[in-house]
Structure 1
Amino acid sequence: MTNFLETDQGRKIAYHKTGGEGPTVVFLGGLKSDMEGTKAIHLEAFCKARGQSFLRFDYSGHGESSEKFTDGCIGDWHEDTVAAVTALTAGPLIVVGSSMGGWQALLLARAMPERLMGLVGIAAAPDFTEDGYWAGFTDMQKEQMETQGYVELPSDYMEPYIITKRMIEDGRTRLVLREDLNLPFPVRLLQGTADTAVSTETAVRLLDHAQSPDMRLQLVKDADHRFSDDTCLGLIEAAVAEITDLANA
């Protein structure tokens, strides 16, 4: 059964939490994704079988949580993440971030580095509002953003994305690749070479930019952005298990 957490901002966040030993694994989904996705459900079952604590939730404007997607932005979803982690978990964390969730994982690492024992990025998409959306907009789209406050972008996976001016402007205050990014714990980045949403160049840029004592990038030939076939799910499991072993060593 889905539970709900009310944040200080008055948003209702839907979540599922399963108990067990630490470190708690927290799954952070992608833009317009939800906690019922293949990776989240698979990782929950994996952790349950291992007796490891696990949390998945929907950002506001996503899935079963309150608010509209078009009212949200990176900062709102960061607030939701901090609220969920603070209220629903205790002790050390291993954060698994998919796509936009990878950016959220890095923001969480910046906000509470003392809680994180490790981070797994799956096609992590830091700074995508600026380096993906804004950088790719035509002059007409930029003008449209100014005049009507949003731009519609086609998606390979669902109905068009409505990208709002607020999302772009707030994203600029949340960028993580422009200044020091210290990740004082093991980091595992997983990236498919056939990903049309997040490029391998983005993964390499993050690898080059961040400071970490133990950071690795694994490229999977022909894997796409979903990164959810049996092979890819196995790699996610292996990364979580490895970081857990390191944390418990």
Structure 2
Amino acid sequence: MSIKYDHVKSHGNPRNIAYCHEIPNGAKLSILWLSGYCSVMNSTKASAISEWAQKESIEMIRFDYSGLGKSEGEFATANLSQWLDEALLIYQKIQHRPTIIIGSSMGAWLALRLTETLQRSHQTQPKALLLLAPAVDFTHEILLKKLPKDLLGQLENQGVIAIPSQYDEEPLKFYQQFIQDAQQHRLLNHPSIITTPITIIHGEQDHDIPIMLGIKVAAHFKNTQLFTINDGEHRLSRAQDLQFILNTLKNLIS
């Protein structure tokens, strides 16, 4: 994977963003991959889609959010506003090709916000969105609603909490500034203007982002179809999950 860097300055925070841009000969379609919270561009799903895209002569671009992976910045001060600016920068590197944006978990929220931003500014919109276990508005729809009082107090007093992860040894950290910034990016508390076709894949055994949120997202946005995997969990990274994602992607392209 060949890593490149580009400079972005937003919200008073200059930083270099690491990205991977693969353009096979004869590419007529592009994929922009947006990772989940604390995830990076060489994750299992992103790598599997990249390998498939190269075989199918499809352009693909992916990047590490600031504060994560090979990108500069402090995770403690990063937020959706910064990551949206970075997503817009990376999206603009795709030249004159229909684009499918694939957003995983929090990346699905970012994909929707990016599409909304493009539509409001009359820029070229994606051909379609593919949202995997979409964690739309998860800060307010899930996190704040589930936190016990002691952790809510810690978040307010110390500005950060750490929650054990079933996938990693290190706990997930959530910062008060991230949650406060996320308020302005919420989508489910007002009507949507997005007209891009949306496809959702959600595991019915997802305990991190429950299937009910996926159903709520599907009902909120126009021109949306929802597929569920009855034994699928949040990461959707098993061989059968990856194959389901690729089959869905093939159908979107055709």
- TM-score of the pair, normalised by structure 1: 0.93
Contact 1:23 1:117 in 2 (8 A): no
Q: CA RMSD in A?
A: 1.3
Which structure 2 residues correspond to residues 35-74 of structure 1 after superposition, within 5 A?
35-74=41-80
Distance 2:28 2:39 in 1: 26
| C-alpha displacement of 1:182 | 3.2
**Partner Cα distance (1:140, 1:40) in 2:** 36
- Structure 1 equivalent of residue 9 of structure 2: 8
Q: Larger deviation: 200-209 or 227-236?
A: 227-236
Which range moves more in the overlay, 175-184 or 46-55?
175-184
Matched, 1:31 2:41: no
Q: Secondary structure at the match of 2:28?
A: strand
1:75-114 equivalence runs, <5 A: 75-86=81-92, 88-91=93-96, 92-113=98-119, 114=124
The answer to whether 1:120 aligns with 2:124 is no
Q: What is the deviation of 1:179?
A: 1.1
Query: Corresponding residue for 1:138?
Result: 148
Question: Residue 228 of structure 1 aligns with which residue?
Answer: 237
Q: Note the residue ranges of structure 1 that are not aligned, 5 or more in a row.
A: none
SS in 1 for 2:178: helix
Structure 2: gaps (5+ residues): none
1:244 to 237, 244, 253: 253
Q: Aligned partners of 2:46, 2:161: CA distance in 1, in Å?
A: 29
Partner amino acid, structure 1, of 2:45: K
3-state SS of paired residue (2:184): coil
State the shift of 1:150 in Å: 1.3
Q: After TM superposition, give the deviation of residue 168 of structure 1 in Å.
A: 0.8
Classify the secondary structure of the residue corresponding to 2:150: helix
Matched-pair contact (CA < 8 Å) for 1:126–1:176: yes
Q: CA deviation at 1:184?
A: 1.8
CA contact (8 A) 1:152 1:161 kept: yes
Alpha-carbon shift at residue 45 of structure 1 (Å): 0.9
2:211 aligned to which of 184, 200, 203 = 200
The aligned amino acid for 1:19 is: I
Q: Distance in 2 between matches of 1:162 and 1:185?
A: 33
Same amino acid, percent of matched pairs: 25
CA distance in 2, matches of 1:168, 1:160: 17
C-alpha contact 1:26 1:94 (8 A) present in aligned 2: yes
Q: Which amino acid aligns with 1:16?
A: C
Task: Report the TM-score when normalising by structure 2.
Answer: 0.91
Aligned-partner residue type, residue 236 of structure 1: I
SS at match of 1:196: coil
Deviation at 1:111, TM superposition (A): 0.9
Structure 2 Cα separation of the partners of residues 57 and 29 of structure 1: 8
Provide, for residues 146-195 of structure 1, a one-character-per-residue CA deviation record: whole Å limited to 9, x for no partner: 21111221111121122111011001110011112233232210011111
Distance apart, 1:29 and its partner CA = 0.6
